[in-house]
Amino acid sequence: MTADRFDHVSTSSRVLFGNGRVDEVTAAVAGAGIHRPFVVATRSSLPLARRVGELVDARPAAVSGDARMHTPVEVTDDHLRRSHDLEADGFVAVGGGSAIGLAKALALRTSVPIVAVPTTYSGSEMTSVWGATENGRKKTGRDPRVTPAYVIYDPELTIHLPHDVAGLSGLNSIAHAVEAIYAPERSPLVALTAAEAIKNMRAGLRSIDAAPGDLDGYARALTGAWLSGVCLAGSTMSLHHKLCHVLGGTFDTPHAATHAFLLPYVLAYNSRSLTAAQRAVIVEALGGGDPCKELVELGATYGAPKTLADLGLRRRDLDVVVEQVPASLSNPRPVEAKGLRQLLDGAFDGAPPEWTRQR
Ligand code: NAD
């Protein structure tokens, strides 16, 4: 593989992968220079967060189960006060992108380190991207201070992930890799990583559905999540991520389900504008057939929404979405209002997304 020109970003996180490696969280916390950790999680990951809190220290560390999706600023403000009271000098995020997002928002304000123990496939743990939602608008930015110092991927922690969370989060992960394949700065390393990410996640999701108790499927999916996170960390995301960002920030749609539903529509929109090489990688990584169909099928297996209305949107909301997507957005196919509206109308009606076979 050759490339005439590319940009590449590597992150400095130390990644510990393998069954049982959560037991190394104490060493990770010490390695990150944290003496008084504050463990943050969402409510449904609270039991796991408490277990990790007990591993971290002889005295259980302070644990919160109040993280919420899309990082509302009021939740961050509340935790900032609590972390000052606790004299916390670092955060341990246990769970999905919501827990990791809260730890990042706190690290952005305090410049203290994070140890992440991800249990979904969001990929946030590998990036320097932070998010914050205030007054119905979601802002994001990049800052190296929010990149976790240590990331512990332990497949055993993910075996009880609810079926829908695993599948929808896995499709969120595939979206990072798909958009990395056609990102403007794509490097040969990211291109290879993205293809492997999609293949691992697809195999993992097929296995989790067919054999829910089989740890190998969860390990494959978590490998895919890590690789997709690496892609996300080093690539500019395009129309798909922008649309999901607008829908999540303005209409509070659930993050992973929005990604899972929309990806085949955006891929269909872009399909004609991809290079032959990009098309070949996407087709092969998604099983060799029609990649849009494969994504729709995977989504259906895991209960993805079938229309934008299922995500709570009304037809008139589509105008608001179109207004928030700038025509200057970097995307393989230029983003113009008419084409975008067609994409959204198709998604609203649940029309099958069509992969264009010929350029
Ligand atoms: P999430 O963190 O809200 O998790 C989804 C659900 O799964 C939650 O109810 C959670 O409690 C539950 N869960 C997680 N682990 C579990 C486990 N082991 N057992 C049982 N239940 C478990 O959702 P998500 O999709 O992982 O993350 C979404 C958030 O992450 C959004 O706010 C999104 O913006 C953000 N995100 C950020 C980045 C970034 O780079 N900054 C990347 C991707 C996603």
pLDDT score of 9: 80
Give the DSSP letter string of 64-123: E----TT-BHHHHHHHHHHHHHTT--EEEEEESHHHHHHHHHHHHHH---EEEEE-SS--
pLDDT score of 328: 95
Q: CB of 44 closer than 6 A to ligand 1?
A: yes
Instruction: From first to last of the 359 residues of the chain, give the pLDDT tens digit.
Output: 557 788 888 878 999 999 999 999 999 999 999 999 999 999 999 999 999 999 886 566 799 999 999 899 999 999 999 999 999 999 999 999 999 999 999 999 999 999 999 999 999 999 999 999 988 777 899 999 999 999 999 999 999 999 999 999 999 999 999 999 999 988 999 999 999 999 999 999 999 999 998 999 999 999 999 999 999 998 999 999 999 999 988 898 999 999 999 999 999 999 999 999 999 999 999 999 999 999 999 999 999 999 999 999 999 999 999 999 999 999 999 999 999 999 999 999 999 999 987 65
Q: CB of 119 closer than 6 A to ligand 1?
A: yes
DSSP state of 352: P
- Which of 50, 71, 120, 133 to mutate to test ligand 1, by most ligand atoms within 8 A of the CB atom? 120
The residues, ordered by sequence, that sit 6+ positions from 197 with a Cβ below 8 Å of its Cβ are 173, 174, 176, 177, 224, 225, 227, 228, 230, 231
Q: Identify the residue whose C-alpha is closest to ligand 1 atom 34.
A: 70
Q: CB of 186 closer than 6 A to ligand 1?
A: no
CA of 72 to the centre of ligand 1 (A): 14
Amino acid identity at 52: V
The residues, ordered by sequence, that sit 6+ positions from 337 with a Cβ below 8 Å of its Cβ are 322, 327
3-state SS assignment for residue 152: strand
pLDDT score of 60: 60
- Which of 64, 127, 255 to mutate to test ligand 1, by most ligand atoms within 8 A of the CB atom? 255
Q: CB of 235 closer than 6 A to ligand 1?
A: no
Q: Identify the residue whose C-alpha is closest to ligand 1 atom 19.
A: 161
Q: CB of 173 closer than 6 A to ligand 1?
A: no
**C-beta atoms surrounding 150 within 10 Å:** 24
CA of 96 to the centre of ligand 1 (A): 3
pLDDT score of 2: 59
Buried b vs exposed e over 259-294: b needs ≥16 C-beta within 10 Å? bbbbbbbbbbbbbeebeeebbebbbebbbeebbbbb
CA of 98 to the centre of ligand 1 (A): 5
Which atom number of ligand 1 is nearest to the Cα of residue 233? 40
pLDDT score of 103: 98
Residue 355: name the closest of 274, 260, 242 by CA: 274
Contact 56, 26 (CB under 8 A): yes
Contact 122, 225 (CB under 8 A): yes
Amino acid identity at 63: V
Cα 84 → chain centroid: 29
Q: CB of 148 closer than 6 A to ligand 1?
A: no
Distance CA(254)–CA(249), nearest Å, equals 10
CA of 334 to the centre of ligand 1 (A): 31
DSSP state of 351: P
CA of 175 to the centre of ligand 1 (A): 15
197-201 contacts at long range (C-beta below 8 A, 24 or more positions apart): 197/173, 197/224, 197/225, 197/227, 197/228, 197/230, 197/231, 198/174, 198/224, 198/228, 198/282, 198/285, 198/286, 199/224, 199/285, 200/224, 200/227, 201/121, 201/170, 201/173, 201/174, 201/177, 201/225, 201/228
Distance CA(54)–CA(63), nearest Å, equals 10
Buried b vs exposed e over 6-19: b needs ≥16 C-beta within 10 Å? eeeeebebebbeee
3-state SS assignment for residue 62: strand
Reported as half-sphere exposure (CB side, CA atoms, 13 A), residue 316 has a value of: 0
